[in-house]
A and B are shown apart, each in its own frame.
Chain A
């Protein structure tokens, strides 16, 4: 069996050429699943962070609950959710979103806590309302720390999306799972390699574009040592 495997090509390039459309569809699904997870996760995290910043006492419980969500093994979480929400995108996203919350909330709160007190005091002293202070001063200044959180959340989510293949989603994870089911046939290993390589490339591409976006949005941080 093993000798047989060794005799055969590990990656079958002809399979890749024939399945470009499939691969692209899987990649696109992967991107969509990730984008929804990080987007929804960010909105929820922003709301919870604002609550935590305004009422400091809630910060402990919020990180405690999201911390527990973060530690639940993903397989167990999906197994638990399927009877309730079925083999749906919703099930996948509940899991994926849950895993982004702790990272995002921690970074949003830390970012806003990092805004110098003197900046806040002068803003309030000049007549900023609470809302405008948050949107126009605190949030932009916290951006580098918040983006750092989004990067971790996005890269983690891209990895986790492959697991959702087990509930019939999965993007590139679907290719990997199908490859596993074909044991170690050349078509199987090819799909595993394609799924893995594309997933890694996607993570790197998303991370780099987030770095680029942060640099574009924070021109003041670049000119510090001119």
Chain B
């Protein structure tokens, strides 16, 4: 079965790409570039291979589409050994994007995108339809299609590279440092675009990078390799950051891995505290007790799940209940979709050192710096 003929709908995620005991030893070198690597990549996930230079990550990637042949071990796609296929046939069913992109300078953007459909012998009308579709998906203007690559910016070239890789709708996309050659701002934008694209297309993506932040940002799972192609840890980014398997992984993740982890946890994933809140009509005595409990000098008034606002302690002097005081609105409002990184930023930069979480108008609870730090050390 060719990779391109794969049924597109699956009930349960299955292993899609399986590397079993794969070793690559280049001629003239003693130490293997990749040493008995076993790795399973599941249908529809983004797997990032990351590690220092010389860790064999690019070699591993290129063995999947047979640009490099393994010395021993097997690689299979959907249970079919890739060595059983004609290399060029195999490759037409796998999208491939490299750092320098490698657009064909003598062909227009349209012709570049049409590369694999042409190789597969699609008819002209179908190719043209597909090109227009991809230009739209990758946010390339229609006026871009008749230009030559030399007339594009780095970011545009990268988009054309991705469009070209997706042209024949391959289930697998291999990306070798795809954002390495663009500046950090464009890189962040392209990373977002890739994630957005993936939400819609559900490809199986294997991406190589040396940038651990990129790996954490893009990967559903991240494989950390050390020099010589040893797999040190293979886990979702959150797990890597929470429980690095060894010193190598911990070092590679960096000393700020606690902070990094915050960007992966959504507020919806943790339990919120009610915070210093009281219902309307609460007497001042009781309100001050709540403040003491939370060690704040303010209290918020909540009616049911509606946040009315907050007031500082000194403005309650001489009153019997909190009713009738002017309440301040919460200016920083987090949503359950925000990350703990954003929550931390909101909490430490607010007067109250606490950030309130809302789902539209519904008040969900409070999040404190202390609560966030408990999440880091967990």
Contacts and interface: CB of A to CB of B under 8 A. Distances in A.
A141 interface: yes
Interface in B33-64: none
A119 B104 CA distance: 6
A123 B165 CA distance: 11
Contact of B116 (A127, A129, A137, A220): A127
A127 B94 CA distance: 9
B119 A126 contact: yes
Contact of A123 (B65, B102, B147, B174): B102
Contact of A125 (B67, B99, B103, B105): B67
Contact of A126 (B92, B99, B106, B147): B92
A116 interface: yes
B100 interface: yes
Contacts of A220: 105-107, 148, 150
Q: Identify which of A118, A121, A122 gathers the most chain B CB atoms within 10 Å of its CB.
A: A122
Nearest to B91: A127
Question: For the side of the interface on A, what is the size category?
Answer: 20 to 34
Given A118-B101, A121-B67, A141-B105, A128 B150 contact: no
B89 interface: yes
Contacts, number: 72
Nearest to A132: B119
Interface in A164-188: none
B362 interface: no
A113 to B, nearest CB: 16
Contacts of A128: 88, 119
B298 interface: no
A71 interface: no
B161 to A, nearest CB: 8
B77 to A, nearest CB: 14
Contacts of A4: none
B213 to A, nearest CB: 25
Given A126-B92, A127-B91, A226 B151 contact: yes
Given A126-B96, A128-B88, 15 more contacts: A119-B104, A120-B102, A121-B67, A121-B98, A122-B161, A124-B67, A125-B91, A125-B174, A126-B164, A128-B119, A129-B88, A132-B119, A219-B148, A220-B106, A224-B151
Interface of B: 65, 67, 88-92, 96, 98-107, 115-116, 119, 147-148, 150-151, 161, 164-165, 174
